[in-house]
Amino acid sequence: MLIDLTGRTAFVSGSTQGIGRVIAARLAAAGADTTINGRDAERVEAVVAELRAELPPGTRLDGVAADVSTPAGADVVVDRLPSVDILVNNLGIFAPRPVLEVDDDTWQRFWDVNVMSAIRLTRHYLPGMRDRGWGRALFMASDSALVIPEEMAHYGVTKTALLGVSRGFAKAMAGTGVTVNAVIAGPTHTEGVEDFVRALVGDELPWDRAQAEFMKRHRPGSLIQRLIEPDEIAAMVVYLSSDHASATTGGALRVDGGYVDYIVP
């Protein structure tokens, strides 16, 4: 399937590392004028330079440094990019903590970063997409939205919220040519997840064994029995960003390795 996003503009929040970085790279490789985002200006500039070196000459990439978990940070992005065609709400944080030990400040921080950042950006960009008759808004959710993890209930709850938020925005865009979807990503091999795995299974084991032990103990329902690679998540995002996915909206699309034991979604 040939996906050509030439002429489209894309913004990916929280995209200086992990899944977001790969999504931004794949959107740019498909032809979209893509802007990556992170809080640190030097890091953003470095990643833009790295991606330009990795991707074919002429690939259009830019960056904007802003903390979009805050209203002020979202305003910085909006000032730089008044409109986009493809919005990927990727920014998110996670950390294990027993639910009885999660204090109010932690709950609020996870809500601001994982949920409100996406709401603010989507609320701004959807009207322009609607007026132009084309647009894609995507929310990066998680298997934890459906199977709340014992060690990260505060994280899972924010991802559950994104499923509802995505569906609500999709209904607001009915009949406009704009699609809104959530992507349910399963346990994915990123820098942060490596640290997470080590925190749960220890530092003694070689990585391959540590990963296998993590899946066995904490994600035994995975049908692929391994961590997902970021490219596998990005492939779904690029497809949903294309014209090929014009009839897919209001959905929660799973790239979870079969971990969630439901037939639907």
Which of 155, 239, 259, 262 is an active site residue? 155
**Active-site residue, 259 included:** no
Q: What is the 3-state secondary structure (H, E, C) of the chain?
A: CCCCCCCCEEEECCCCCHHHHHHHHHHHHCCCEEEEEECCHHHHHHHHHHHHHHCCCCCCEEEEECCCCCHHHHHHHHHHCCCCCEEEECCCCCCCCCHHHCCHHHHHHHHHHHHHHHHHHHHHHHHHHHHHCCEEEEEEEEHHHCCCCCCCHHHHHHHHHHHHHHHHHHHHCCCCCEEEEEEEECCECCHHHHHHHHHHHCCCCCHHHHHHHHHHHHCCCCCCCCCECHHHHHHHHHHHCCHHHCCCCCCEEEECCCCCCCCCC
Residues belonging to the active site: 155
